[in-house]
Amino acid sequence: MDEIEGGAPPKKKSGMVMTIAAIAIVSVLGAGGGWFLGGMLAPEPLTSDEARVLEEAKATIKAREAAEAANEAAPAGGEHGKAKKEDEEGLPKASTEANGVLQLDPITTNLSYPTENWIRLELALLFKGTPDVAMAQQIHEDVAAYLRTVSLQQIEGPRGFQYLKDDIQERVDLRSEGRVTNVIFRTFVVQ
């Protein structure tokens, strides 16, 4: 009897240790898998350049809103109105054909999925030398055709927007054969 009693407890202890070890291994594998998938799915933090561009865009939007509010509050005629018009004409604009910048017509189209969502995009192209209007029209059509193939899930979040910018830049580079040095995103709206 002593041999049977003496032999039974170690088996229970061994079974308990194996169960605890199995639970620990499964927990470590689950935590590691969750960390790995979380790293793949979570958006990466913005780089300093992306953060700077985002801050510049926010500042531009605030400046436009302030200018619009000032225009609404200003009187419509009289000497003040004439002076303001002369000041606006005297300031040179940065985005002119003389500077090599050509603004494209706004592109408004629906997305491929879901089809009830629309995208509006305004772009400007920075050319090496004088702008080529015919080439700009071809680029406009290429970008519009590309946007019809994009789904909402592809452009969600900052990473999706960056992929969209990269894809459009690549298409412009191919079409222009290096004559367009930069694509400037003026507006981007998804509705």
Span 84-133, pLDDT tens digits: 444 455 445 555 666 788 889 999 999 998 889 999 999 999 998 888 88
* One domain, residues 118 and 150: yes
The total of structural domains in the chain comes to 3
* CB atoms near residue 136 (< 10 Å): 22
> Does residue 42 form part of some domain?
no
CA distances 28 to 14, 17, 32, 40, 166, Å, are 21, 16, 6, 18, 38
Q: Which residues of the chain have pLDDT under 70?
A: 1-13, 43-44, 46, 69-98
Which tokens sit at 51?
């953060």
What pLDDT is stored for residue 169 in this prediction? 94
Rounded distance, CA 189 to CA 109, Å? Answer: 11
* One domain, residues 130 and 70: no
* One domain, residues 70 and 151: no
* One domain, residues 153 and 185: yes
* One domain, residues 28 and 109: no
* One domain, residues 109 and 141: yes
Range of the domain at 141: 94-191
Rounded distance, CA 179 to CA 96, Å? Answer: 17
Computed over every residue of the chain, the mean pLDDT equals 80
Rounded distance, CA 115 to CA 128, Å? Answer: 37
* One domain, residues 22 and 59: no
CATH of residue 136 = 3.30.479.30
> Does residue 47 form part of some domain?
no
